[in-house]
Amino acid sequence: MTRLLSALLPLFAAYGAFAQSAPAEPAEHASAATVIVFLVLFVGSCVGYIGYILWDARKNKHTQDK
């Protein structure tokens, strides 16, 4: 493990030379369609995750009762 970490340190230092010196300007306005798609995907994934957790808990509850 220490060998891997010692090999990564010079690699990170070399990649630092290629980093941008000035950050790019952010976009002034985001497209409404982009924001809506992001919100649909984000909320959908959150609801899906919560649904999976509840479904798995209910399944485990039924297997413990038997």
The answer as to whether 7 is a domain residue is no
pLDDT digits (tens, 9 = 90+) for 11-44: 888 877 777 667 777 778 888 999 999 999 999 9
Helix, strand, coil percentages (3-state) for the chain, rounded to 5, are: 75, 0, 25
The domain in which residue 59 lies consists of 32-66
The answer as to whether 51 is a domain residue is yes
DSSP secondary structure letter of residue 30: -
Instruction: Pull the structure tokens for residue 7.
Output: 């090999």
The answer as to whether 25 is a domain residue is no
The answer as to whether 37 is a domain residue is yes
Please report how many Cα atoms fall inside a 13 Å half-sphere around the Cα of residue 30, on the Cβ side.
9
The answer as to whether 17 is a domain residue is no
Q: What is the mean pLDDT of residues 43-62?
A: 93
**Structure confidence at residue 65 as a pLDDT band (50, 70, 90):** low
Number of domains in the chain: 1
